[in-house]
Structure 1
Amino acid sequence: MKKRYLLGMGLMLLFGSNVQAQDEVIDKIIKEETENSQLKQIGHELMDGIGPRLVGTPQMKKAHDWAVAKYKGWGIEARNEQWGEWRGWERGITHIDMVAPWTRSLAGMQLAWSPSSPKGGAQGEVVMIPELADSAAFAKWLPSVKGKYVMISAPQVTGRPDYNWEEFATEESFSKMKEERTASGRAWNERLQKTGKGRRDLPTALEDAGALGIITSYWSQGFGANKIFSASTKKVPTVDLSLEDYGLLFRLVEGGEKPVINLNAQSKENGMVPTFNTIAEIKGTEKPDEYVVLSAHFDSWDGGTGATDNGTGTIMMMEVMRVLKEVYPNPKRTILVGHWGSEEQGLNGSRAFVEDHPEMMPKIQALFNQDNGTGRVANVSGQGFVDSYEYLGRWMSKVPREITKDIETSFPGNPGGGGSDYASFVAAGVPAFSLSSLSWSYYNYTWHTNLDTYDKIIFDDVQNNVIMAAIMVYMASEEEGMVSKEVRIPIGRNGEPTEWPAVRSPTRKGGVE
């Protein structure tokens, strides 16, 4: 026992010579980010100035070029690396007006890659998928949609989120609502199943029959929040309406009032366009061919401006690079940041980087990824790397306690097979870690929604994350040798070993069938 204690003291003395130098840089990191943070300005330029970053859009390319220029302005070498091409598409205006039985402008927007309305828009009656006996009855009904807009989403029983019911409703009323909601959803799904068409086939069948457009509503279980994804129509527009306005139209149709809307949804097809990752580097002085990597996907869906998915991860990593260039300009290892394209369609940019740079993978000391909202880091998993507790623990111990005190950790943990870009690297055997954030109602209110905008960013939390990541990158860069990459094969639910996630190739030509 005494021997082990002395050995521990010896290790403390051995590392003691480095502690003062390390603390000096750490103090500078904290001071620079606390007193001179550029997060708000970077966030404003990206989210407000450029906007959403849907792969294949002009804004995506503009964002890549902006990031390269921003890095070069800080004295950091940066470049755009093309990894594929995508269907080019440009969003125009969306105006949706109910003109009968009374007049109201409706809240909604066309889905990504939606075809355009005729110039000036088109007016037509709104109908819904009726209750039909089977697919033969659907085929018989189908010609009646010509010249009409068709609603294909389930109506919502309530426009109030569950937490609002829990606060104010009686227990009996809340239970009754949930039962009604379950029954309503089941009945609508059965109605759709009887058409004989799948989720993506149904809109195609409707547009082929002459429908003017498709109306959906994908409520995100929060006040005013809808998920905005992509259209599957090829000839007519698909628009998503707010819960409130979709419910209004639905009830009018159901009541036989025959509502009429005028829809003007404009968009532009731009052919196939190149897709990129933005890469920036601060070159290492002693081990330039070894890397510590910062990781965040650059693209977004375009219902809002992609502020928390993944604008916050993006500006965090940019700010970490700016701070490190300022206070740690000559790192031992090369510090590289990857702003990946087309994460939202399947981790394509990061998978392409792994595939295109196989020689780099064994030389990556560690990778830190952030991609789930604006909150301070709340969870860190070892991703199945056996010794991750030892080195991550040491690095995190240098982060101010007020930042790390509430972080939950799991070591060695299990490897992530998807979800965000760190998984692309984990599959290649890279110690890649997700800095997972506190929720801030992410899944209800900002994840892929129309409300994912600058005003939802909690800059104090992002600032803490910058300090944490910058210190950990610094520590990883200064580490004497390469960390252990030994992995633990995950155990399945049956108690038997499974397999390490496989490296997967990206979609390099996307948005086309």
Structure 2
Amino acid sequence: MRRIWGSACLVGLSMAVLALGPARDEALDLSVLSRIRDEGFNRSKVMDTASYLCDVIGPRLTGSPAYKKAHEWTRDQLSAWGLEARMEPWDFGRGWTVEHVSVHMTQPAPAPLLAVPLGWSAGTKGAVRGKAMKVKLESEQDLANYRGKVTGMILLNGEAPTLKVHERAEYDRYSEEELVELSQYRIDPSRGGAPGSPGVNYRNEYARRRQFTEALNKFLAEEKPLALVAAGENDGGNVRLIRGSQRAGESSPVPHLVMAAEHYTRIARLLDRNMEVELELDLRVRFTDQEEKGYNTVADIAGTDLKDEIVLLGGHLDSWHPGTGATDDASGVSVVMEAVRILNALEIKPRRTIRVGLWGGEEQGFLGSRAYVTQHLATRAEPTDPEERKQPEFMRRERGELQLKPEYSKFSVYFNLDNGTGKIRGVYLQGNAAVQPIFEAWLKPVADLGATTTTLRNTGGTDHIPFDSVGLPGFQFIQDSVEYMSRTHHTNMDVFDRLQREDLMQASVVMAWFAYNAAMRDELVPRKPLPPQNPERRPPTD
């Protein structure tokens, strides 16, 4: 997800580089790179892997049967390629699967409608018909105004969007000028806890939304409308999913769907004409009766003289359910699997163990990668303030003391890929100036592939964050957006056909090269200082 923290106050990177002093030359074995390129470009399996995940297994919502099947398949496939693979469980919550959704307008003119349910939404228990009604449910006062008026209705919640002509291409790659600009550091405005700062504002807004969601769900359970429908953010039949929650009491007690913008606006115009609109909805979902486990697929290429030290590569295996989770994140998973397949096919004997981590629960808040960090590397004591303990970890002002586990000192680096199908253009360094000359040396031999840029800026929204938050080197690669934010991210169009073969082959080669260098260098990848116990928190990204 291409979300970068920071804006304003440009500072040249040259000063940061000079402050480091002369960088020690990295010992690079370019003959190994030649072999990596040959295997990755001439015998690639990256698209075969992606097709199996997207076409055979399909969407992989955390806690669903398909999600577990994906972990079992990746474990078995990595084992077949010669890695030592296993599934590591962690506690998740309710499982949910959508089995059928059908929405039609029956009056005043029959028409099929495109809509997608939120995750963990209630179903209809058979086809239901009801009159459409426009509402605005945005505050507790709104809820009070509609009491006694919505029973048995299908509610269109919110104003109809205004659809405009697309004046620019939805396809996007970094230009050289944009990469130069990206390499320039920007001071993060969310730092500092003064009133009005983004970090404080986000916490307040999050608390407000959570409180309102509880009130909305109580209202829906008591007033019993047939369904709640929101307009999709995108247009052109592209439906982007808004969030759903697996937690009991936080998911919608009535069917809650997002409808294609063009279909929503048509119904809204009919209602504005004071015409009666009848809709038919059939939503079949299945909840599991017990709390489900989440999983991480973990697999190793065993190291040699430094085998206790770990170089970790990862992406998230879970997805949302409207499409098949191709660019978010079957692409990253397939690249990571291809990178270790390449290295194992070449019978590379790395000094450090090269480990794959295919995470679950990323879409619910980095749950799988956070579980890995907790199980293997470091934990924090719970806050002393009971109100703080009620907050999600990323929203807490108070964080307990960092408690390090034995594996912490043996951890070298984590490389993550989760910004769509685009090729790798460089690395976000998360403010770690010590790694800049190292990664720049690694990038030079693959500059002809388009991977050229480092930036000390932070990026968020994906699974490197749990590692970075405990002081370990964790990095997301810079990637071309292609159609990620415009067309595929969390939408019904996130399908195999949107994957770019050459980009994923390039990313696999670059990933393998970075993994090899990290595994072979004499020293661990440099770390930033340990994070303070109670820093001001950055707002997370979606």
TM-score, normalisation: structure 1: 0.80
1:242 is aligned to 2:260? yes
The one of 203, 226, 251 aligned to 2:269:
251
Q: Which amino acid aligns with 1:223?
A: G
Aligned to 1:97: 104
- Give the deviation of 1:239 after TM superposition: 1.5
Q: How many angstroms apart in 1 are the aligned matches of 2:118 and 2:425?
A: 33
Aligned to 1:330: 349
Aligned to 1:352: 371
Q: How many angstroms apart in 2 are the aligned matches of 1:483 and 1:138?
A: 54
1:72 is aligned to 2:79? yes
1:17-166 equivalences under 5 Å are 22-119=29-126, 121-129=127-135, 139=144, 141-161=146-166, 163=168
Q: Alignment partner of 1:253: what SS?
A: helix
- 8 Å Cα contact 2:217/2:253 also seen in 1: no
Q: Alignment partner of 1:361: what SS?
A: helix
Q: How many angstroms apart in 2 are the aligned matches of 1:250 and 1:162?
A: 25
1:213 is aligned to 2:227? yes
Q: How many angstroms apart in 1 are the aligned matches of 2:510 and 2:146?
A: 60
1:458-497 equivalences under 5 Å are 458-487=500-529
Aligned to 2:471: 429
Deviations 1:489-512 (A, max 9, x none): 89xxxxxxx95979x9xxxxxxxx
After superposition, the Cα gap between the structure-2 partners of 1:164 and 1:381, relative to the gap in structure 1 and judged at 3 Å, is closer
After superposition, the Cα gap between the structure-2 partners of 1:200 and 1:243, relative to the gap in structure 1 and judged at 3 Å, is farther
Q: Which amino acid aligns with 1:434?
A: Q
Q: How many angstroms apart in 1 are the aligned matches of 2:428 and 2:71?
A: 30
Q: Alignment partner of 1:46: what SS?
A: helix
Aligned to 2:16: none
- Give the deviation of 1:449 after TM superposition: 1.1
Aligned to 1:287: 306
Q: How many angstroms apart in 2 are the aligned matches of 1:43 and 1:164?
A: 26
Q: Which amino acid aligns with 1:339?
A: L
Aligned to 2:208: none
Q: Alignment partner of 1:295: what SS?
A: strand
Deviations 1:286-313 (A, max 9, x none): 1110111101111111111111111111
- Give the deviation of 1:408 after TM superposition: 2.8
The one of 329, 339, 354 aligned to 1:310:
329
- Give the deviation of 1:471 after TM superposition: 0.8
Deviations 1:182-240 (A, max 9, x none): xxxxxxxxxxxxxxx935633541342121111112313x5322221344554321121
1:225 is aligned to 2:238? yes
Q: Which amino acid aligns with 2:258?
A: D
After superposition, the Cα gap between the structure-2 partners of 1:362 and 1:396, relative to the gap in structure 1 and judged at 3 Å, is farther
After superposition, the Cα gap between the structure-2 partners of 1:80 and 1:284, relative to the gap in structure 1 and judged at 3 Å, is same
Q: How many angstroms apart in 2 are the aligned matches of 1:156 and 1:342?
A: 31
Aligned to 1:451: 493
- 8 Å Cα contact 1:415/1:423 also seen in 2: no
Aligned to 2:278: 260
1:339-418 equivalences under 5 Å are 339-358=358-377, 359-399=406-446, 401-404=447-450, 407-410=452-455, 413-414=456-457, 418=460
Q: Which amino acid aligns with 2:225?
A: A
Q: How many angstroms apart in 1 are the aligned matches of 2:94 and 2:476?
A: 30
Q: How many angstroms apart in 1 are the aligned matches of 2:335 and 2:432?
A: 25
Deviations 1:422-472 (A, max 9, x none): 111112221111112111131121111111111111111111111111111
- Whose Rg is larger? 1
Q: How many angstroms apart in 2 are the aligned matches of 1:226 and 1:422?
A: 28
Aligned to 1:493: none
After superposition, the Cα gap between the structure-2 partners of 1:252 and 1:383, relative to the gap in structure 1 and judged at 3 Å, is same
Deviations 1:137-168 (A, max 9, x none): 85364222111101113211125445389xxx
Q: How many angstroms apart in 2 are the aligned matches of 1:345 and 1:241?
A: 22
Q: How many angstroms apart in 2 are the aligned matches of 1:87 and 1:348?
A: 14
- Give the deviation of 1:116 after TM superposition: 1.0
Size of the alignment, in residue pairs?
443
Q: Alignment partner of 2:257: what SS?
A: strand
Aligned to 1:202: 216
After superposition, the Cα gap between the structure-2 partners of 1:248 and 1:323, relative to the gap in structure 1 and judged at 3 Å, is same
- 8 Å Cα contact 1:379/1:437 also seen in 2: yes
Q: Which runs of 5+ in 2 are unaligned?
A: 1-23, 171-210, 245-249, 378-405
- 8 Å Cα contact 1:155/1:250 also seen in 2: yes
Q: How many angstroms apart in 2 are the aligned matches of 1:277 and 1:200?
A: 31
TM-score, normalisation: structure 2: 0.76
After superposition, the Cα gap between the structure-2 partners of 1:108 and 1:333, relative to the gap in structure 1 and judged at 3 Å, is same
Q: How many angstroms apart in 1 are the aligned matches of 2:114 and 2:78?
A: 38
Deviations 1:16-41 (A, max 9, x none): xx65xx22221111001111000111
Q: How many angstroms apart in 2 are the aligned matches of 1:136 and 1:314?
A: 45
After superposition, the Cα gap between the structure-2 partners of 1:140 and 1:427, relative to the gap in structure 1 and judged at 3 Å, is closer
Q: How many angstroms apart in 1 are the aligned matches of 2:216 and 2:528?
A: 48
- Give the deviation of 1:485 after TM superposition: 1.9
Deviations 1:60-86 (A, max 9, x none): 101000100111111111111011122
Q: How many angstroms apart in 1 are the aligned matches of 2:415 and 2:521?
A: 16
Q: Alignment partner of 2:37: what SS?
A: helix
Deviates more, 1:377-386 or 1:339-348: 377-386
- 8 Å Cα contact 2:242/2:258 also seen in 1: no
- Give the deviation of 1:323 after TM superposition: 0.6
Deviates more, 1:251-260 or 1:315-324: 251-260
After superposition, the Cα gap between the structure-2 partners of 1:130 and 1:87, relative to the gap in structure 1 and judged at 3 Å, is closer
After superposition, the Cα gap between the structure-2 partners of 1:235 and 1:385, relative to the gap in structure 1 and judged at 3 Å, is closer
Q: How many angstroms apart in 1 are the aligned matches of 2:137 and 2:478?
A: 44
Q: Alignment partner of 2:475: what SS?
A: strand
